[in-house]
Amino acid sequence: SRNIRLAVIPGDGIGTEVVTEGLKVLEAVGTKVETTTYDLGAKRYHETGETLPDSVLDELRGYDAILLGAVGDPSVPPGVLERDLLLKLRFQLDHYVNLRPVKLFPGVETPLGKARPEDIDMIVVREGTEGLYAGTGGVMRRGTPHEIATQESLNTAHGVERVVRYAFEKAIGRPRKKLTLVHKTNVLTYAGDLWARIFDRVGLEYPDVETDYCHVDAASMFFVSQPERFDVIVTDNLFGDILTDIGAAIAGGIGLAASGNVNPDRTAPSMFEPVHGSAPDIAGKGKADPTATILSVAMLLEHLGLAQEAARVEQAVADDLVERLTGWAGRTTHEIGDDITARVAG
């Protein structure tokens, strides 16, 4: 089989710990992988002042895919690594689809007591390059009682249409063929109107897809009260960020939630990462669950056309999760990684 050229950005905190396990599993799949590790993150920032030098960004463009752990550290001011490293990668590599499955595996405990795996099985298609993340806005009279801070949501017809189209394609490929637009059209009348019009217009091309609309506040409620309402969801950058942490919670916890920052046009490599952050509260203790990263590796394999390999990794995780009903307590990051690796290999 072919050789995958993979760039690895372990990042900060538990990012480095979970990526080690993800790579172990990837190696066990048996596909030839050539990895190059990049030391981007808090340490490099402190040593050199660099977050993501242009030369590194250009080099990253040459890989088949990127695996990222997490970035962010209490010793670095908020936003420096998040914006100038992580978001810069998503924006510059045109990751306009942030794909976040919310799926309850059999045997996994959910805070929604009686929910079954068939009730929680959705995909959130989060826009990845625009919205409130665009970074436009500004501050006046900073530090005074008259300070004014604005932060604008940028929405372009091009940007909205391409992610909406992707979501319709996703929906039509699933058994339920249902797509829900989540926004806040009752208040965000400019951006919401643009999203709603494009959603309706593109929907005309997909008569077999059942469409629905839900305000983001109500959607948050339905995530915990009636998750079975949802199949595929398409939403903007910030709503998708918040909804997918709720999604992680209902599907067994943030340690299980995988994601892909996808460039569907393949003009640059896509980047796969757990939904969670660097978790400074448990970093260095061997307590982080590497499962989200391992499932992100499965998404990476799928993206590279290795569907069978992806399925093997997902099955190994599913089998491990069933076992956790009895044998979970006390396993370290390495032990979970080893157990899943053994299943993939065996």
Beta-carbon neighbour count of residue 36 at 10 Å? 12
Query: 202 or 275: whose CB is closer to ligand NAD?
Result: 275
Cβ atoms of residues 340 and 23 within 8 Å: no
Phi, psi of 4 (to 5 degrees): -90, 130
> Which one, 21 or 241, has the nearer CB to Mn ion?
241
In the numeric block, the tokens 């469409």 are attached to 211
Q: Give the shortest CB-79-to-ligand IPM separation in angstroms.
A: 8
- Nearest distance from C-beta of residue 164 to ligand IPM, angstroms: 19
User: What residues are paired with 151 via a beta bridge?
Assistant: 137
Query: If binding is defined by CB under 6 A, does position 25 make contact with ligand NAD?
Result: no
Size of the site for ligand IPM (CB under 6 A): 7
Q: Kindly tell me which of 241 and 273 has the beta carbon lying closer to Mn ion.
A: 241
Q: Is 26 left (phi over 0), alpha (psi -120 to 50) or beta?
A: alpha
Residues marked as catalytic: 133, 184, 217, 241, 245
Residue whose CB is less far from ligand NAD, 57 or 196: 57
Measure Cα distances from 213 to 8, 98, 185, 204 in Å: 38, 20, 10, 15
Question: What is the pattern of x (binds ligand IPM, CB under 6 A) and - over residues 72-101?
Answer: x---------x---xx--------------
Out of 241, 302, 309, 320, the residue judged to bind ligand IPM by CB under 6 A: 241
- Binding site partner of 87, from ligand NAD, ligand IPM, Mn ion, none, Cβ cut-off 5-8 A by kind: ligand IPM
Structure token pair of residue 254: 């943030």
- Part in contact with ligand NAD (CB under 6 A); list of ranges 106-114, 139-147, 270-278, 306-314: 270-278
Report in angstroms how near the CB of residue 33 gets to ligand NAD at its nearest.
22
State the Cα–Cα distance between residues 200 and 2, nearest whole angstrom: 41
Backbone angles phi, psi at 2, to 5 degrees: -80, 165
Give the C-alpha separation, 324 to 144, whole Å.
53
The CB-of-40 to Mn ion minimum distance in angstroms stands at: 19
Which 227-266 positions form the footprint of ligand NAD (CB under 6 A)? 254-255
Reduce the DSSP state of residue 325 to 3 states and report it. Answer: helix
CA-to-CA distance for 105 and 294, rounded, in angstroms?
14
DSSP for 122-140? EEEEEE-SSBGGG--EEEE
Task: Select from ligand NAD, ligand IPM, Mn ion, none the partner in contact with residue 283, using the beta carbon and a kind-dependent cut-off of 5 to 8 Å.
Answer: none
By CB under 6 A, the residues from 43 to 102 that bind ligand NAD are 70-72, 82, 86
Rg (CA), the chain: 20
**Subset of residues 262 to 281 that bind ligand IPM, contact rule: CB under 6 A:** 275, 277
Give min distance, CB of 228 to ligand IPM, in A: 24
- Helices assigned H by DSSP within 178-290: 189-203, 216-225, 237-250
| Contacts for 330 with CB less than 8 Å, ≥ 6 apart | none
Q: Taking the complex as a whole, how short is the minimal distance between the CB of residue 69 and ligand NAD, in angstroms?
A: 7
Q: Which does 122 bind (CB under 5 to 8 A by kind): ligand IPM, ligand NAD, Mn ion, none?
A: none
Let me know: does 182 contact 126? Beta carbons within 8 Å.
no
Residues that bind ligand IPM (CB under 6 A): 72, 82, 86-87, 241, 275, 277
Residues that bind ligand NAD (CB under 6 A): 14, 18, 70-72, 82, 86, 254-255, 273, 276-282, 288-289, 292
